[in-house]
Amino acid sequence: MSHEGIRIVSAEQARREAVHEEKLSADAITPAKVKVHKTEGTGVEILWKDGHRSVWTFPWLRDACPCATCHEERERNDRLPGEPKPKPQSLLPMYEAPARPVEVTPVGKYAIKFKWSDGHEAGIYSWEFLRRVCSCEPCQAKLRAGR
């Protein structure tokens, strides 16, 4: 039994609870405008009703996939949503094309779903999830502080 593992999980737990404690207003989690730059391959831009603006690159969103499998994998490795996986130690580094969506589908009025170039499509990105992982500097600083 590894004590290291226990410590990491509880740190993650504490951080997640801290992040989730913060109440977000309805305007904060309702997009006024959503732009998915699928053809350009750049990423997603959301202007929220409260005036906040979030921008994510596609590889960032792929690394933030909220599905249970990806979430648990991040939890085990103490990575924040969007944090890339460390490169595997290998003598022959493999080129990995940056993730991009091959399909983007709205899910009801509350979320968006991507089918990624690597075939993964289990994640449902709710507006609330996206707002909570806003990649702007002040929001990311808050997430890191909770870690």
Which residues contact Zn ion by CB under 5 A? Answer: 65, 67, 70, 122-123, 134, 136, 139
Please, which residue, 6 or 68, has the CB nearer to Zn ion? 68
| Minimum separation from the CB atom of position 7 to Zn ion (A) | 25
Instruction: Answer whether 30's CB lies under 8 Å from 12's CB.
Output: no
- For residue 34, the SS3 value is strand
* Separation of alpha carbons 40 and 52, rounded Å: 23
* Token duo for residue 15: 């951080």
Please, which residue, 38 or 120, has the CB nearer to Zn ion? 120
| Minimum separation from the CB atom of position 9 to Zn ion (A) | 19
Please, which residue, 29 or 70, has the CB nearer to Zn ion? 70
Q: Quick one: which H or E segment has residue 75?
A: helix 68-77
